[in-house]
Structure 1
Amino acid sequence: MPNSDDFRVKRIQKMLLEMAKGNFFYSIEPSDKNDNIASLVVLLNMVNEEIGAAFIHQGFANAHNTPQCVIQLSLILDAQGQIELVTNGTCSLMSYLPKDLIGKHITEFLSEKSGKKWTKKMAKHLKRERSETVLFLEFVTNDGLVLSKDCQLSVYQALDGSGQKILLDSVFFSKGEPFDTGLPKKTLKVTKGIKEHKVTLTPEDIQIIRDVHDMIINNLEKDLPRLNDLARQMGTNEYKLKYGFKQIYGTTIFRFLTRERLRMAKTLIKHSTLTIKQIIQMTGFKSKTHFSRAFKDKYGMSPTDLRS
């Protein structure tokens, strides 16, 4: 039988690694125990929440942007888990149209692990007339990206007599305007170096580009879809996405992806016991040769030399 304390310590280690990567949406469910490990879990969750509220992650925490608004993921389901209602924010986050979500079972849009967790937990809560709980779930978007978040689940009785319903709610922080960047409040003129190539970015366009940025950060192990497909899924066009991203972040989308993958790999090499092979898989590189060459070009030493 596995040691319970060892398992709890490993969960703490995973949470610390997530925080080191800049993921402040990860938290640990408190246990029924009353010991030092349980106290540490409570403290870590509090620290994680405070940091997440104060900073927006860009591979590492930084203070260039502050959270100003939230995008809400919200669904109403029947007692069997069939989706009955979704918000526009949910469709935007998941890259699905409402018709692709409504009528489907929630587990079709969860990772395998989260699907099993949903089935097990909700069987217990649906035995009560009303109940509330928080469940950490991994949603899989239409293009295979993963959105991980604590979700508030509320079981209630519908007023129209149609039986039990499940309300699923969660929020994702969205960045506000960067400090001291000189960005105009209404539009942003983007140039490619010559006047003929000019695009006007509205605040909505800028927000889409920032959403792409966050999607990359949260899914470094995933390959990006083609830019025209990504642009269409996000509600813009390839031209605006490419040149808007470069104007705002100073580099191309694919160079940014490689840079952040290398930054994450460096953190894991220095501060974890994961093997180089595991790190390569976690950061989305196709081969050890490609990874080693890119890492040495960036940091002037091989991954093995950094760890030794």
Structure 2
Amino acid sequence: MERTEEERFKQLSDQIIEIAVGNFEFRYKPSPRLDAIDTVGVLLNMLSEEIAYFNFGSYANFLLRPAPVVLIFNSNGKLINSSSCFLEILGYAPLLQDSELSIDTYLTEYSIPLLTEEFNNVTQEPNPRVFPLDFNTADKRIFRSNCSLSLLVQKQEHLYALLIYEDFKHKNLKEGNGTLKKQSKSVRTRSARNRVLVKNLRMYCLRNLDKPLPSLKEIGLLHRTNATKIKAEFKKAFGTTIYQFHLEERLKWAALLLQTTDLPAKEISRKCGFTSAAHFSRCFKKKYDQTPLSYREL
């Protein structure tokens, strides 16, 4: 039996929450209608695949920051859901479904007013403000991380998502008195800069899918680095060149447009930055083993 619009929207909402708490295996099932709701579902499926591959795929040893840990809570501060590793790493028992625990339970006394201030000023901006918070562990230690707060608008109530950005592992925990294990500051700084560089290069590719990339020298000037570093760091992170990555993403976008729009293949070729329809067709067939028109008819 075909699902109602309410049931389909519910599935979209469930998928977004699953993605937020770190489950990238959930998939939206398109209906026979292939309408706007299904288009959003397909985009979410692509997002899940991209995040899963970006964090756990063939280049799993790259240096980019992993997906953030997420806590979902309501207007009263009650924890609704969380990434599976959150309570485990802090040393607490798993969150029960009917638990009345507040997010404040896991914050230090100093951090509660910081979160309250952010809570009172939260918006639906796409790039929320980043702020630091300290979390208490079960064995009286502290985990400090940069976080951001986002508003999730629901039908009956507002939910909030707290994103914890730092690597959520035992090595980041410190003693309550503030003593830290000795680490090489220069190595950490260099590694952090490389992570930021590769992240920015990836976003640069994704924001310019409608045109070919310029030379490595020009890309280096834009990102205040050089061609050699771009080649080395991008290859280390993604296992491919920046140009091949860019081409793969353009072809993914083209495949999506073929499946979800009525645009002519020639127009899709132009929108995806190909210099000619013939070049687009050759590249598409090489990746998908069929022409764009054959792919659309599937």
Q: TM-score scaled by structure 1?
A: 0.42
Quick check: which one's strand share is greater? 1
